[in-house]
Amino acid sequence: MNRRWNLILTTAVVVFSIASCDMPSEDQEKKPQVEEKNETNDAELSENQQLSRTFGHLLAKQLRKSEDMLFDIAEVAKGLQGELAYKIAPLTETEYEEKMAEVQKLVFDKKSKENLSLAEKFLRENSKNEGVVEVQPKLQYKIVKEGSGKILTGKPTALLHYKGTFINGQIFSSSEGNKEPILLPLNQTIPGFALGMQGMKEGETRILYIHPDLAYGTAGQLPPNSLLIFEINLIEATNEEISTAPVQEENPS
């Protein structure tokens, strides 16, 4: 696959957004999708036409997944038609990449600021809930199920089940898919994860609420400045601090 197609497909899959006067109104967003009658019955289309039209639907669906919309779909369609007609694009590929990088930075900075504000608001409100303990500023936990085993201290290796979610409840990482607990060296986790587990007893289930400053901040592959929520079931904690290869970012490290 050549560089041009890599650029096109990357742009199609990763849609960045900024506040715009072209954004649909709330009423427009709530409108149900209307099935329009096609002039030509889908069954009458050739195989190539069916594939082509479906590709258009899939591309539009991918663009629509963004919470906000940057691309003007009508102009995207004109661009496709223009390229097929050998017309010159408004920007060269280099100009496009430069401008897109500028837009991506604006979006990243905007999202970072929004997420940080949401994280701090969440922790303020969550601290008022029954059973929530503040370990230190920016780190809270709540015990869901008491344990009766050995107490975890320091940064040992822990055998545990975990589920990581964002504020909206979306799961970004979990050990449940493997149906097996994971062995996790706590000296290789994000600061809030290891700190939040201090004092846990084997058999205990605890929920951690971690401010982005004690998580990934603006680094990593997760949305910038995301508050992370981990539900952890501690099965066993060793007394040894072992060193292994760093775990991947989708794990709580």
Query: Could you read off the pLDDT of 106-133 as tens digits, one per residue?
Result: 989 999 999 999 999 999 999 999 999 9
pTM of this structure? 0.71
Q: How far separated are the first and last CA of the chain, in Å rounded?
A: 34
Pair 60, 145 in one domain:
no
Residue 121 lies in a domain: no
Pair 146, 224 in one domain:
yes
Pair 164, 80 in one domain:
no
What are the residues whose beta carbons fall under 8 Å from the beta carbon of 166, sequence distance 6 or more? 172, 223, 226, 227, 228, 229
Pair 76, 133 in one domain:
no
Pair 81, 140 in one domain:
no
Read off the CATH number of the domain in which 185 is found.
Answer: 3.10.50.40
SS3 171: strand
Give percent helix, percent strand, percent coil of the chain, each to the nearest 5.
40, 20, 45
Residue 115 lies in a domain: no
CB–CB of 140/128 below 8 Å?
no
Pair 69, 133 in one domain:
no
Q: In which region does residue 82 sit, left (phi positive, over 0), alpha (psi from -120 to 50) or beta (all else)?
A: alpha
Residue 247 lies in a domain: no
Q: Domain range holding 30?
A: 3-90
Residue 146 lies in a domain: yes
Determine the pLDDT at residue 12: 47
**Helix or strand run (H / E) with residue 208:** strand 205-210
Pair 18, 83 in one domain:
yes
Q: Report the C-alpha gap between 127 and 227 in whole angstroms.
A: 14
Residue 55 lies in a domain: yes
183-227 residue pLDDT tens: 999 999 999 999 999 999 999 999 999 999 999 999 989 999 999
Residue 20 lies in a domain: yes
- Per the structure, the count of domains in the chain is 2
Both tokens of residue 180? Answer: 């097996």
Pair 223, 156 in one domain:
yes
The bridge status of strand 182-185 relative to strand 157-165 is antiparallel
